[in-house]
């Protein structure tokens, strides 16, 4: 096939899912001439699975993306049908925003944003080969022979690489939702030296809302008093739709257990690794046989459709068994299927082949982001896309890279996990993965990260002005909370609550430390406490002792993080290192002693050996 030029670019982004969108926007908005190559313009920002953004820990990622100058939070707020705060009854560290979005509007709005972004060209086509010369990326070749010349490439192919959808005995060579799959790029990645693996995910059926009996389900409404996902969004989030809660039962489980021989997960048809933390209903029923029921959420897919997503009932069972199984659930007895559920297998890479910048160790200028890196979820993908695109841009501009630390962001936790530990299953961010989650709350994401985005050139003047106002408002709130409350006001408040009259100075902050809520204090002393900065101030005051301990621990570990390790160290030659440690260190090539200490199989004694090695060798 004859090759021909499709133009000269600074960077090319392969894929237009959630990772690809953020990568392309980060590059173009920082002045890089960028081309986005996608299999279908209709799949840009498409929600192939759950039509929602955020959730436990994922909401933290969305706010971090937004704080750095990304688009996901803005787009989710624009297309929101319902917004809720999850884990309200738990501590501030694990509370997370979750938006139920309009699937079609989310795609349309994201596509419109991309199309109207300066420096960005969108092109429908399939990438066949990543072109590399002298160890450095020089372009991307399409299946029709077109050459997109460039100096950086971000691969964000999602679940499309050699993907197959599996339902019962039927296996189709297809991408998600009936989109075409990508069949050429995997060979190119292998030729560059990548270790390619096979992962699996799945999606539930979509049902006709007119045939669901919602009256026997429990309504899940949006929250009235809640702030949006993006700091840029003005006004209250849309709350136009309800979700509903129902459950599986003994009959549901019976249908599954009696037909495991027809389940691709248990009859050998599926051999790839699936997600541990978002498993199919077959896996949940088999793994937790003592559990009488599993909760399911009925979620609208949009204002222009009757499709309802059944969260929690993902399956790859044959269609006839899906009918039997779904119809055992309360409210779904007469439900009509609009789309049947399926599992999907796809190619991904071993993330130990990439640097913490998300640049490849195998070819300079090549970055990967999203599900090709073995992660699951829109939010995880978007966060990686933003970092990959931004680091590609920084490199093109000869500026230092952006590497967020574990104590600075959930993004830093996720990327460090992927680069240092790797993953043998689809990776999902969780609050339990973060050592310093009380510091990494979603309410303070901009205080933690916006300066980084500004320095990298991604945070616009408008965004930065919003940030500066929030900082000023926060300072004012903290100053007010430090003020002394007049004795004649605080005395009756304390005595009414069974406390003794105060003998000294009492501030609003003191009352928070005693356990009173800010809303309770506001009502008692006529303080308007509705803005989000009040919540941040309350949390900082209430948990200041724990926060100080966390900061002290960070300072102790910082010494290890600041001790660099050369990529050229021959770990097999270092005496005193155990064989397992040598192999693990050689495989990861850590950038610092701190990173080395987090590699599974490297123990404190090995770290001591490395420190001794550094003190006696100039590497």
Section 582-595 average pLDDT: 90
Which residues of 352-495 form beta strands (DSSP E)? 366-368
CATH of domain 480-549: 1.10.10.1800
Residue 619 pLDDT more than 60? no
The residues near 441 (Cβ < 8 Å, ≥ 6 apart) are 60, 92, 93, 95, 536, 539
Residue-level pLDDT at 262 = 92
Section 152-181 average pLDDT: 95
The tokens describing 4, both together, are 């021909």
Residue-level pLDDT at 618 = 62
CATH of domain 562-616: 1.10.150.570
3-state secondary structure of 554: helix
Which residues of 376-454 form beta strands (DSSP E)? none
135 and 364 Cβ atoms separated by less than 8 Å: yes
Residue-level pLDDT at 421 = 92
Task: Read off the pLDDT of residues 66-84 as tens digits, 9 standing for 90 and up.
Answer: 999 999 999 999 999 999 9
Using a 10 angstrom Cβ sphere, with 0-12 exposed, 13-18 middle and 19 or more buried, the burial of residue 335 is buried
Section 219-233 average pLDDT: 94
Task: Read off the pLDDT of residues 139-151 as tens digits, 9 standing for 90 and up.
Answer: 999 999 999 999 9
- Sequence spans of domains, the chain: 206-344, 480-549, 562-616
Percent of the chain residues topping a pLDDT of 90: 82
216 and 333 Cβ atoms separated by less than 8 Å: no
pTM of the entire structure?
A: 0.94
What top-level class would CATH report for the domain 206-344? Answer: mainly beta
CA dihedral (9, 13, 14, 15) positive or negative: negative
Q: How many CA atoms lie within 13 A of 393 on its CB side?
A: 27
Conformation bin of residue 145: beta by default, left when phi > 0, alpha when psi is -120 to 50 = left
Q: Distance of CA 305 to CAs 103, 201, 299, 531, Å? A: 9, 25, 12, 35
Q: How far is CA 236 from the centre of its chain?
A: 24
3-state secondary structure of 393: helix
């Amino acid at each position: 096939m004859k090759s021909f030029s499709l133009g000269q670019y600074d960077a090319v982004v392969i894929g237009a899912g959630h990772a690809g969108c953020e990568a392309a926007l980060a590059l173009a908005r920082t002045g890089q001439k960028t081309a986005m190559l996608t299999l279908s313009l209709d799949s840009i920002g498409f929600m192939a699975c759950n039509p929602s953004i955020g959730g436990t820990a994922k909401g933290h990622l969305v706010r971090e993306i937004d704080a750095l100058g990304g688009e996901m939070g803005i787009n989710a707020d624009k297309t929101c049908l319902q917004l809720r705060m999850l884990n309200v009854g738990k501590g501030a560290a694990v509370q997370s925003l979750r938006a139920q979005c309009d699937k079609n509007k989310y795609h349309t709005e994201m596509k419109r944003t991309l199309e109207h972004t300066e420096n960005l060209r969108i092109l429908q086509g399939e990438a066949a080969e990543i072109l590399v010369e002298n160890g450095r990326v020089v372009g991307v070749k399409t299946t029709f022979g077109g050459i997109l010349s460039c100096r950086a490439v971000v691969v964000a192919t999602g679940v499309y690489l050699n993907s197959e959808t599996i339902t019962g005995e039927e296996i189709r060579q297809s991408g998600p939702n009936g989109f075409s799959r990508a069949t050429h790029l995997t060979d190119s990645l292998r030729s560059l030296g990548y270790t390619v693996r096979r992962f699996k995910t799945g999606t539930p059926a979509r049902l006709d809302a007119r045939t669901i009996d919602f009256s026997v389900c429990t309504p899940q409404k949006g929250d009235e008093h809640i702030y949006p996902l993006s700091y840029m969004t003005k006004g209250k989030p849309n709350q136009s739709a309800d979700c509903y809660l129902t459950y599986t039962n003994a009959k549901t489980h019976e249908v599954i257990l009696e037909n495991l021989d027809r389940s691709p997960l248990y009859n050998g048809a599926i051999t790839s690794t699936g997600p541990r933390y978002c498993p199919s209903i077959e896996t949940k029923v088999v793994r937790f046989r003592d559990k009488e029921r599993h909760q399911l959420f009925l979620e609208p897919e949009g204002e222009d459709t009757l499709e309802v997503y059944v969260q929690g009932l993902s399956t790859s069972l044959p269609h006839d068994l899906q009918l039997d199984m779904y119809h055992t659930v309360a409210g779904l007895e007469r439900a009509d299927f609009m789309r049947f559920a399926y599992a999907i297998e796809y190619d991904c890479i071993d993330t130990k082949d990439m640097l913490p910048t998300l640049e490849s160790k195998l070819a300079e200028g090549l970055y990967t982001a999203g599900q090709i890196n073995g992660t699951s979820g829109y939010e995880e993908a978007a966060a990686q896309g933003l970092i990959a695109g931004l680091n590609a841009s920084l490199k093109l501009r000869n500026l230092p890279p952006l590497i967020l630390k574990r104590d600075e962001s959930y993004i830093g936790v996720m990327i460090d996990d992927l680069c240092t530990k790797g993953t043998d299953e689809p990776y999902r961010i969780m609050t339990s993965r973060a050592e310093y989650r009380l510091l990494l709350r979603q309410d303070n994401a901009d205080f933690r990260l916006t300066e980084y985005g500004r320095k990298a050139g991604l945070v616009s003047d408008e965004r930065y002005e919003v940030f500066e106002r929030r900082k000023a408002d926060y300072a004012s709130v903290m100053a007010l909370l430090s003020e002394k409350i007049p004795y004649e006001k605080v005395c009756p408040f304390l005595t009414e609550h069974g406390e003794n009259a105060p003998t000294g100075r009492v501030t609003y902050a003191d009352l928070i430390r005693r356990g009173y809520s800010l809303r309770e204090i506001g009502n008692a002393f006529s303080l308007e406490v509705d803005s989000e900065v009040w919540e941040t101030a309350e949390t900082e005051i209430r948990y200041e002792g724990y926060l100080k301990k966390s900061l002290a621990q960070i300072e102790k570990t910082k010494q290890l993080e600041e001790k660099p390790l050369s990529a050229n160290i021959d770990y097999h030659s270092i005496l005193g290192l155990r064989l397992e440690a040598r192999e693990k260190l050689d495989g990861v090539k850590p950038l610092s002693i701190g990173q080395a200490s987090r590699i599974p199989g490297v123990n404190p004694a090995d770290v001591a050996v490395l420190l001794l090695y550094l003190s006696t060798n100039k590497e």
